[in-house]
Amino acid sequence: MTNFNLIDNTTIPVIGFGVFMVPNNGPTEEAVSIALKEGYRLIDTAAAYQNESDVGKAVKKSGISREEIYVTSKLWLQDYGYEAAKKTIDSSLSKLGLDYIDLYLLHQPYGDTAGAWKALEEAVRAGKIRSIGVSNHTVKFLDKLLPKMEILLAVNQMECNPYFQQKELREYLAKYNIRMEAWYPLGHANR
C-alpha cells in the first residue's frame, strides 16, 4: 500500500476503508476484518458512527501488527469544548481498545472547535493520538481555527470527487502542506 507523508512526519495510507452507517455488534467487525484481509490498512470510524468497538475488535483479531494498521476516528459536535473533548478522546481509545489513534479529527466545523482542538493537541503530546485534523472544514472555518492552533492540522477530510472538486480548498490546504483526504471520492453514484 502506498502512503502519503503528512506535515507532522507521519504517513497515511492512500486508500482507506470507512465504516459510516455500518452497524456495531458484528457487522462492522466483520466488514473491517474482511477489509484488512484484502489489504486495506486505513480504517475510518467516528464516535458518531457508534461502531468504534467493532473496529477495535477487528484490529485486535486481525493478526496484523498494530503499527501496520492506521485507525482514524472523529470527535462529534456534542463533545466539543476542552473538557468534553478530553473525555471523548479517552472514550474512543477505550472503545477501540487501542493505546493510540493514528488520526483524530474534529468531525464538523461548528461549536467550540478551539477548545476541542486544544484537547486534541494535548492528546498528541500525551501520545494518545499521532496526527490531528479536521473534517468538513471549508476555507472560511479554517481561517477562524488556524490562528488558535499550536499544532497545525495534518489532514482535512472533505467530500471531494470529479463532481465536487474543491479547487479553492485544495489550493488553500496546499499553502500549508495540509493533506486533503476525500470522502465520496467517486461521487454519490447518483449522477
Task: Per residue of the chain (191 residues), give pLDDT as tens.
Answer: 799 999 999 999 999 999 999 999 999 999 999 999 999 999 999 999 999 999 999 999 999 999 999 999 999 999 999 999 999 999 999 999 999 999 999 999 999 999 999 999 999 999 999 999 999 999 999 999 999 999 999 999 998 778 878 899 999 999 999 999 988 777 776 66
Q: Which three cell numbers stand for residue 40?
A: 486495506
Range of the domain at 61: 3-183
For residue 49, indicate whether it is catalytic: yes
Residue 190 is predicted with a pLDDT of 66
In a domain, 189, yes or no: no
Indicate which residue of 49, 70, 80, 172 is catalytic: 49
65/133 Cα distance (integer angstroms)? 24
In a domain, 53, yes or no: yes
In a domain, 37, yes or no: yes
Determine the Cα angle at 37 with ends 159 and 45, to 5°: 35
Kindly report the CATH number assigned to the domain that includes residue 17.
Answer: 3.20.20.100
- How many independent structural domains does the chain possess? 1
pTM: 0.95
Residue 159 is predicted with a pLDDT of 82
In a domain, 50, yes or no: yes
In angstroms, the first-to-last Cα distance of the chain is 30
